[in-house]
Amino acid sequence: MRYSWDKGLGQGQNLRTFGSALSYFKECMDELILKVNSQLKTFEDLIESTANHRIYIGASDRTQYAFSALPYILGRYCCYNGEIRPDIFTISRDANVPVNDPKTDIGIVVSGTSFTGPAINAMKGLTDTRVKTFFLTYTTLEKAREQQEAAMEEQNEIKESVWDHFIKQPHYEERVIYLPMREESWKREQKRASLAPMGTKFELSAAATAMGIGNGLRTYHSIDEDIKPNETPLVTFLNTLVNFRNYLDVDLTQKCYESRLEIADFIQDLFIINHKKIVGFGGSENNALSFANRLTHCGHLGKGEKYGKENKSVHILKSAYSGFITRNNMVIGISKSGDNPYTSFILKEAMKQNPEKIYLITCHANPTITAFNQKIVLPPIISTNEEESQNTELGYLNTYAFLDSCIAQLADNLDLDEEDMKSLHRFI
């Protein structure tokens, strides 16, 4: 079905890039499913290795927020008799790994480029302590070596990579997983990279993979009553990816098209209002952090640096008094369930300060949160508590794709290209 994304919009508004981004993310999922099917044995090993074990995760920035879907879903659903749930630790700034048992503990390091510092530190620590580790990336060992050689020749720089430590692990070739990354053909076709800015394809794949692993573990431990007979964790994992792909292609795209007037206003306010305050708790906190991180790539620097003519900022609100909500603020609440008490309280307090606009992004048709000027409801549309428990993972991923599509449109409106966005990444 072809959508006329600009139909009925106000003067100066357009959603063509937004619509193109949604379509592109569906193609990303198609490629991820193909890659998974070509690496089934490794994915099966990954899912089964994480069952009943302590898990160490090494990642940073948006990749960390994306892969946080795994600890989120395990913490939410996988309390197997109160004792089987795996402990999960995130390794961020140092290589110290408090290993309990190197024979059973599992490491998962996620880095698209293979050159992110926290991922390098995590892999070093896990390798030094002999923990079986899986590496999720889009950069091959050969490509990493080429970039290291180029850095040495051009800048006389020793460029450390996750691969430098990963290859010291026995049988490492059996535990590397390649996720999709945006191809150069997309950049050439669209004349700019803003439709899939700075690694969105890899991050979306990482989020979907993490959610699939979590659901696979639910099947492994028979958490869900509706598990089909003889369904394996790997089948559940694949079904999670396929379901999300189908939601992207039909439900999310259709719902966004029906709500295009509200979405166009939301993106226009992102463009016009300089100071953003974002609220989210639980799984929605990862959506909020990822969205705030992406806004910094569009020039909204929380430190107050100037980008363009006016000072801009973005803050994550953790209490009703943080961030100094004022009249010239745009407040964005993210609550997929629509009833998070912390989000509700902060938005109520924010309303008293009379900010320019308060938005609620939710999956609930009738949220109990009422303090907002405008809401955007994303699928799967929830109307009962039972549905909320079944659709949390799809809501998490749909919100991720929706917000990044908004960023794609915002970057296009600001006439930003990938180099502009990369130049601001260091401030995060």
- List, for residues 26-61, the tens digit of each pLDDT value: 888 999 999 999 999 999 999 988 876 788 999 988
The residue written with tokens 């979907």 in the block is 208
CA angle 172, 177, 183 (to 5 degrees): 135
Task: Name the 3-class secondary structure at 377.
Answer: strand
Residue 214 and residue 69 in contact, taking contact as beta carbons nearer than 8 Å: yes
pLDDT digits (tens, 9 = 90+) for 340-397: 999 999 999 899 888 999 999 999 888 999 999 999 999 887 766 555 555 667 888 8
Count of other CB atoms within 10 angstroms of residue 383: 10
The set of long-range contacts for 141-150, using a CB threshold of 8 Å and a minimum separation of 24, is: 141/167, 144/114, 144/115, 147/115
Min mean pLDDT across 211-215, 268-272, 319-323 is at 319-323
Cα separation, 57 vs 11, in Å, equals 47
Ranking 106-110, 210-214, 279-283, 319-323 by mean pLDDT, the lowest is 319-323
Name the percent of the chain lying above pLDDT 70.
82
CA distance 228 to 328: 52
Write down the pLDDT at residue 306. 38
pLDDT of residue 12: 80
At residue 71, what are phi and psi to the nearest 5 degrees? -60, -30
Q: Which two tokens stand for residue 342?
A: 């912390």
The string of pLDDT tens digits covering residues 399-408 is 999 999 998 8
Label residue 251 exposed, middle or buried (CB < 10 Å: 0-12, 13-18, 19+): middle
The DSSP code for 272 is H
Domains and CATH numbers, the chain: 16-245 (3.40.50.10490), 259-427 (3.40.50.10490)
**Rounded to an integer, what is the distance from CA 205 to the centroid of its chain?**
9
Report pLDDT for 200.
76
